[in-house]
Amino acid sequence: MYLRTLQEEQELSMLAPYALKNADSKGRVHPEKQDEYRLDFARDRDRILHTKAFRRLKGKTQVFVAHYGDHYRSRLTHSLEVAQVARTIARVLRLNEDIVEAVALAHDLGHTPFGHAGQDILDKKMKQVGLCFEHNAQSRRILETLEPKNLCIETLQCLCKHPTRSEKKEYNLSEQNYAEGQVVDIADFIAYTCHDVQDSVASGILSSRDFSYLPSNLLDTLIRDIASQGYRILEPYTNAEEIRTRSKGIFCFSESITPVIKQLKKDFQEKLYSHPLVEEQRIRGEKIISEIFDFLSAYPKHLPESFEPTQAKEIRIRDFIAGMTDSFAEEFWNTHVQKLTCS
Ligand code: MG
């Protein structure tokens, strides 16, 4: 256990007072023997990286359907970019990089196929039967129930992006998340903002002239801005728990960057997300998921056996659909739903 102790001591001497530390961890949901050479948050990261749900991210749409071109982001490359941005900010602020990386890799595990269109239609369908769907809650459901990984309590708490009242109770959360959880949240925003600029230009929907008001290196500018703003706010805090008692989140952009972000959000909304090409993908994704949902409701025998047979049918359908990649959903729809309609 010498290697573990050494790493714990390194954390205590190198990380900021407000950072999460393995030595202070509340432990795992179910106690288990500690690893000889890896600290628990690093082990959580490894467990997440080796899930089937993580591998499926490569087949899930971010904004642009991946098969339209090899260079568009998928949920997998998006998650890796979030991890890179989050680790950079965490290192500058002397936060715990291992838990930040674990949470970044896990943050989109619960996403449906076909991007946000998939989430919206699945939520609408679930609401019709008195339930709901939210990708963040689904990410935790994967790691707690569908592919249980017995993660550390802090890792699960950091995965609660915007804690609802029931999550606050279930995960013992106060107003805010730990600084490490908040880093992933802002890194997610930075990553998708920057890659949506690139992907929208690559697709030809927008041109670099549309973004002439942006700084030349947007990614670097946003990371630098957030890190310096964050440092100023975090400096007085003396432990990780104090961060959670703040009434407001830590990270916000400076006054010089905020107007740029506002303009960018407006442009994305007006020119990218509502563009006929993106809209066409959205409508198709919604149709496929909606029809698969109705098909499985009528013929639940097509649900895989391994999905918690004791659970309500609607929850089994939700888990099955949310786990699909775009191509699996297309194939299932063609093989079962389309065949039924055509017969
Ligand atoms: Mg994301």
Instruction: Find the 102 Cα to ligand 1 centroid distance in Å.
Output: 13
CA dihedral 155, 157, 161, 163 (to 10 degrees): 170
Q: What per-residue confidence (pLDDT) applies to 70?
A: 79
Tokens of 154: 């802090």
Residues near 121 by beta carbon (within 8 Å), at least 6 away in sequence: 285, 286, 289, 290, 293
| Burial call 292-321: b when 16+ CB within 10 Å, e when fewer | bbebbeeeeeeeeeeeeeeeeebebbbbbb
Q: What per-residue confidence (pLDDT) applies to 273?
A: 87
Instruction: Find the 62 Cα to ligand 1 centroid distance in Å.
Output: 8
| Residue-by-residue pLDDT tens, the chain, 343 positions | 788 899 999 999 999 999 999 999 999 999 999 998 899 999 999 999 999 999 999 999 887 655 567 788 899 999 999 999 999 999 999 999 999 999 999 999 999 999 989 999 999 999 999 999 999 999 999 999 999 999 999 999 999 865 555 655 665 556 689 999 999 999 999 999 999 999 999 888 999 999 999 999 999 999 999 999 999 999 999 999 999 988 889 999 999 999 999 999 999 999 988 899 889 989 999 999 999 999 999 999 999 876 666 788 999 999 999 999 999 999 999 999 987 766 6
Tokens of 225: 């801005």
- Residue pair 83/75 in contact (Cβ under 8 Å)? The answer is no
Instruction: Find the 82 Cα to ligand 1 centroid distance in Å.
Output: 7
Instruction: Find the 338 Cα to ligand 1 centroid distance in Å.
Output: 31
Tokens of 21: 């530390």
Instruction: Find the 78 Cα to ligand 1 centroid distance in Å.
Output: 7
Rounded CA separation 81/192 (Å): 9
Q: Indicate the pTM of the whole model.
A: 0.94
Instruction: Find the 108 Cα to ligand 1 centroid distance in Å.
Output: 5
Instruction: Find the 5 Cα to ligand 1 centroid distance in Å.
Output: 34
Instruction: Find the 199 Cα to ligand 1 centroid distance in Å.
Output: 15
Instruction: Find the 261 Cα to ligand 1 centroid distance in Å.
Output: 17
How far from 315 is each of 225, 294, 322, CA to CA, in Å? 42, 13, 10
Instruction: Find the 106 Cα to ligand 1 centroid distance in Å.
Output: 9
Instruction: Find the 79 Cα to ligand 1 centroid distance in Å.
Output: 6
Q: What per-residue confidence (pLDDT) applies to 63?
A: 75
Q: What per-residue confidence (pLDDT) applies to 277?
A: 87
Rounded CA separation 155/136 (Å): 13
Q: Give the total residue count for the chain.
A: 343
